[in-house]
Amino acid sequence: MAVDIKNLNHNQLNDLISKAQLRQSELRKEKVVKIREKVHALIKAEGYSFEDIFGGSRGKARRSTGTVAPKYRNPGNPEQTWSGRGKRPRWFNDALKAGKKEKDLAI
């Protein structure tokens, strides 16, 4: 299949390029699937499991991003708290400017 690109206008050429890139991506995914199947077949033929060879999990270990207990409380509004992580809340900065110390705002 030969395409004479000299006779294509700008829009047709862009369309051809995007279709070619999409097809290239599809071919790559198909190849990855075939390789993955070969690897699993080889591992199974040797009498092992995927976890035996590559460890317990398939992905990267993720850090737990659970909630952190608050360290500071707004004296003007006790519902507002801050864990001490990330950007300081406005009420915390305002309290420091008003002369309070961090230990005065600690829970």
Q: How confident is the model at residue 2 (pLDDT cuts 50, 70, 90)?
A: confident
CA 81 – CA 74 distance, rounded (Å): 6
Q: How confident is the model at residue 58 (pLDDT cuts 50, 70, 90)?
A: low
Q: What is the mean pLDDT of residues 99-107?
A: 89
Q: Tell me, what's the pLDDT at 67?
A: 84
CA 21 – CA 24 distance, rounded (Å): 5
Q: Tell me, what's the pLDDT at 60?
A: 64
Please check whether residue 16 is in contact with residue 3, taking contact to mean a CB–CB distance below 8 angstroms: yes
Q: Which pairing describes strands 72-73 and 81-82: parallel, antiparallel, or unpaired?
A: antiparallel
Q: Among residues 101, 105, 67, 103, which one has the least CA distance to residue 86?
A: 67
pLDDT digits (tens, 9 = 90+) for 3-55: 888 889 999 999 999 999 999 999 999 999 999 999 999 999 999 988 888 88
Which tokens hold the place of 105? 């705002």
Q: What is the mean pLDDT of residues 60-66?
A: 69
